[in-house]
Amino acid sequence: MIFDEFLTSRIKAIISEKGLKQKKIAETVRVQPHDFSNMLNGRKQILSIHVPLIAKALGVTMEELYSDYK
């Protein structure tokens, strides 16, 4: 699995596990909800500047976000 696919699947899993709303995450990351949706569906790249903000919005550490990456 390439890293982008891993990251988006991990973010989706955490959103689902915690019952979070994509719109709320998008607001915290300071992107439009449709742009965040496009990031999660591989139509737009998740930039490195977004990753720490996404982790914070998800309530996880960067290490937790990257856990299980092989």
- Per-residue pLDDT reduced to its tens digit, 26-54: 999 999 999 999 999 999 999 999 999 99
Indicate the angle between helix axes 51-58 and 22-29, nearest 10 degrees.
Answer: 130
- Residue for token digits 């092989």? 70
**In the chain, what are the domains?**
3-66 (1.10.260.40)
Percent with pLDDT over 90 in the chain: 81
Mean pLDDT confidence for 12-19: 96
Residues 6+ apart with CB under 8 A from 66: 7, 10
